[in-house]
Structure 1
Amino acid sequence: MQTVKNGDTVKVHYHGRLTNGTTFDSSEGRAPLEFKVGAGMVIKGFENGVLDMKVGDKKTIHIPVDQAYGPKSDEMIMDFPKENIPADLNPEVGMELQMSNPQGQVFQVKVAAIGDEFITLDANHALAGEDLVFDLELVEIA
């Protein structure tokens, strides 16, 4: 029976959770995730986790921070002047916003703190700094 190798396109059902058991994503009730192994379409630990699986195989993988979204970076936390915030926006701690850099690339930030003159924005990925656990089921190798 064929096993997954680099270059294969696969379809996988998954349930992703933090090490404390909190679910952060799942394909339940949706189509399985489809990606090409080795193409960098998913995090490295997820890609490595499907290698050598056969259709119908199920397993649980543990992905350390360095093979997931990396550690939290202080460089991704910035103070943004309140005077530059649109007047109709009332930021609250935890609120997710979209910003764009000078090159026009759009990225997500989260309001981390609100001060008198600045709001602190965190542009780290929401799962940065976290070890992840995935339950996988290989549905198809194309």
Structure 2
Amino acid sequence: MNPILPNEEIRITDGSHVALHFEVSLMSGEVIDSTFGLDTPVTLTIGDGSLLEGFEKVLINLKAGDTRTAHLPPEQAFGVWNADNVQSFAKAQFALSEPNPTKGMMMEFTDKGKNTLTGVISEVNEDTVKVDFNHPLAGQDVLFKVQIFKVTPKGEHALQLR
């Protein structure tokens, strides 16, 4: 039988339920996403796919009360930019859905497997449109800042902040 540990001693492991605030920013300091302005921390389960693996690795072994800022290279964040993820389409293919595609416009596409993909128009020519399917932050180093409020071990009841 495991003794009941105070929450300050419970470490984050795979399957833990965690209440936290986080911030993702570029190396320039530009904040991409942050929950620090929210009244209530967000909750997630480690390993459920709601957070990128590189971000989850930063959380492993932290406990309630911990804060951490980690530099993540592209391979551990949103991926390396890949030229193969830029595709050219005939401009005529856009006639019904978006008759005037412009550079920087985000659009949803459906692949052969009926999956939805988001792409950013990177170039518009007379007859062709290039679409970049890389994540918009691909190739970017990021800073990931976290503050842990509560850790509930795998298998225990959902989080309740008090």
- Cα distance in 1 for residues equivalent to 2:139 and 2:54: 14
| 1:50 matched to 2:73 | no
User: Which of 59, 66, 70 is matched with 2:75 structurally?
Assistant: 66
In the TM superposition, what is the alpha-carbon distance from 1:54 to its structure 2 partner? Answer: 1.2
CA RMSD of aligned residues (A): 1.5
Unaligned stretches of 5+ residues in structure 2: 1-8, 153-162
Largest Rg, 1 or 2: 2
1:91 pairs, out of 101, 111, 115, with 101
Q: TM-score, normalised by structure 1?
A: 0.91
Deviation at 1:7, TM superposition (A): 1.9
Whether 1:81 aligns to 2:99 is no
List alignment gaps of at least 5 residues for structure 1. none
2:19 is the alignment partner of 1:11: yes
Separation in 2, partners of 1:98, 1:22: 26
Q: Counterparts of 1:10 and 1:124 in 2: how far apart (Å)?
A: 29
User: Deviation of residue 122 (structure 1)?
Assistant: 0.2
Query: 1:134 corresponds to which letter in structure 2?
Result: F
Following TM superposition, by how much is the alpha carbon of 1:36 offset from its aligned partner in structure 2, in angstroms? Answer: 2.0
Amino acid at match of 2:126: D
Percent identity over paired residues: 26
Moved over 4 A (4+): none
Match among 7, 20, 25 for residue 28 of structure 2: 20
The amino acid of 1:34's aligned partner reads T
- Across the two proteins, how many residue pairs are aligned to each other? 142
Q: Does 1:115 align with 2:99?
A: no
TM-score by length of 2: 0.81
Moved more, 46-55 or 86-95: 86-95
